[in-house]
Amino acid sequence: MDLEQGQEMMKYELCKNNVLIVLDDVDHIYHLKMLVGSNTWFGNGSRIIFTTRNQDLVNAHGAITHNVRMLNDIEAIELFSKHAFGKRKPVQGFEKVSLKMVSKFGGHPLALIRLGFFLGGKNMGEWMSILNRIEDIPVAEILKKFKIGDDGVKREIFNRLPI
C-alpha cells in the first residue's frame, strides 16, 4: 500500500469510526495533511492530538492548544526512581544522589526515564562517577547525548531540590 492508498483508506473507511490519533513532534503542516487530512476523514467525536514546537503549525491548522508543563520535584523523583529502582522512591543510600541527578534534568520526563534505565543496577561508585561527569555540562548537551530535543522550557527547578 502506498501513501495515496493509505489516505484513501483512512478517508473512506475510518470516517465511520471514532478514532484517537496521537502524533508526536510534528514539524511540518505536510505531516498533518498526509496523516490526518481533514476532520471529514474520521467519525464524529474523533480526536487528533499532536505535539509540536512549531507555533506557526498550530496556528495554520487551527488547533486547540495546551501547554505541557515539566514535572514538579515529587513527580520527577518518582518517575526517575520507578525506572532506576523499580519503586516510587530511591532505595536506601541513593536518596541524595538521586535528588542531584533529578535536579540536573529539571523535570524533563523522557530524560528522567532514560537516565533511570541507564543507572538502574549500577553501584554507588558508578552513580557518583556519572554525576561528576555531568555536573558541569549544560542540560541541552546532555539531552543531545540521550537523543532528546531540548524543549526550550527554562529549568527553574534545578536549584530548588533540597540536597
Domain assignment of residue 67, yes or no? no
Go through the chain and tell me how many residues it has: 163
d(C-alpha 137, C-alpha 70), whole Å: 20
What's the mean pLDDT in 76-84?
95
Same domain for 55 and 110, yes or no, is no
Domain limit, last residue, from 13, 28, 61: 61
What's the mean pLDDT in 124-128?
93
Domain assignment of residue 35, yes or no? yes
Sign of the CA dihedral with 16 first, then 20, 23, and 26 last: positive
pTM for the model: 0.57
Question: Would you call 136 exposed, middle or buried from its count of C-beta atoms within 10 A (0-12, 13-18, 19+)?
Answer: exposed
Angle subtended by helix axes 73-85 and 109-119, to nearest 10: 30
Domain assignment of residue 153, yes or no? no
Same domain for 107 and 138, yes or no, is yes
Number of domains into which the chain is organized = 2
Query: In this structure, which amino acid lies at residue 37?
Result: G
Q: Which domain holds residue 110?
A: 73-145
Give me the residues paired with residue 145 across strands. Answer: none
Domain assignment of residue 84, yes or no? yes
Same domain for 101 and 136, yes or no, is yes
The model's pLDDT over 29-79, given as tens digits with 9 standing for 90+, comes to 787 778 777 777 888 888 888 877 777 777 776 667 777 777 888 999 999
